[in-house]
Amino acid sequence: MTSSPDPTLPSSRRAVVVDDERALARLVAGYLERDGFEVTVTHDGAQAVAVLREVDPDVVVLDLGLPGLDGVEVCRQLRTFSDCYVIMLTARAEEVDTLIGLSVGADDYMTKPFSPRELMARIQVLLRRPRRAAPADQLPGEAPAVFEVGALRIDVDGREVWLDGEAIPLTRTEFDVLSALAAKPARVFSRRALIDTVWGLNWVGDEHLVDVHVLHVRQKLGDSAEAQRFVRTVRGVGYRIGTGS
């Protein structure tokens, strides 16, 4: 059974598959093509960086264990010029691999072996995510949402974050997590609630990936789990926006 292109998603989407397991790369590429993607496949980390610059994809399926440059380094370099969605593949289930992969900007991960249909479902969830996290009661035509948390300024429509007047480069997912928290300053979000808000109600996977994205947001804002100026941990519950001090 093959999947049909999702009519709610835009056409002419581009994907890059980076995996040195050629049969698996072809399999994943086939599913993506049947779902309406223009697909480029590469099997080498160093070559992948050049391909990613040229193709400018919407989504990348990236293996962690590549020859030459590994997937972590490919993702690190990719994030210097693209905020496309990245799903990391790994043959090793150890938590450290997942944490490292996500800390350089991967949006999600899957452990081999995996179901190609589940991979496609996760990609569709990522691509359906709204590109803003404005409050639910904001009406069309109202002023753009801008949140200020101490010296931190979050421009939701412009998708920009400034701290002490300096632009902070967040990935799409990092921005969505931060702006979701800022949009409802009185609310404590559980991991599941943040996943439902940012990734969507149909997302299935390890909810601890929220912790990794929060960690990365804190690092980029010069914050820490001890200071918690901008993202606070509510023990036993989840996260809420801080006060900036």
pLDDT digits (tens, 9 = 90+) for 49-73: 999 999 999 999 999 888 888 998 9
Which CATH number applies to 146-241? 1.10.10.10
- The answer to whether residue 87 scores a pLDDT higher than 90 is yes
Are 168 and 220 in contact by the 8 Å Cβ rule? The answer is yes
* Extents of the domains making up the chain: 13-128, 146-241
The share of the chain scoring above pLDDT 90, in percent, equals: 47
Taking alpha carbons only, the member of 143, 150, 155 closest to residue 183 is 155
Q: Which residues pair with 161 in a beta bridge?
A: 154
Q: How many CB atoms lie within 10 A of CB 209?
A: 23
Q: What is the pTM of this model?
A: 0.68
Distance, CA of 38 to CA of 41 (rounded, Å): 10
3-state secondary structure of 77: helix
CA atoms within 13 A on the CB side of 45: 15
Please provide residue 130's backbone torsions phi and psi, each rounded to the nearest 5 degrees. -65, 145
How many angstroms separate the CA atoms of 168 and 194, rounded? 21
pLDDT at 94 exceeding the cut of 80: no
| Percent of the chain residues topping a pLDDT of 70 | 85
Residue 139 has pLDDT above 60, yes or no: no
> What is the band of 85 on the pLDDT scale with cuts at 50, 70, 90?
very high
Could you give phi then psi for residue 86, rounded to 5 degrees? -125, 125
Q: Is the pLDDT of residue 7 over 80?
A: no
Instruction: Please give the order of strands across the beta sheet that includes 37-42.
Output: 37-42, 13-18, 59-63, 85-90, 108-111
| Superfamily of domain 13-128 in the CATH hierarchy | Response regulator (3.40.50.2300)
Distance between CA atoms of residues 148 and 126, nearest Å: 27
Instruction: Share the mean pLDDT of the chain.
Output: 84
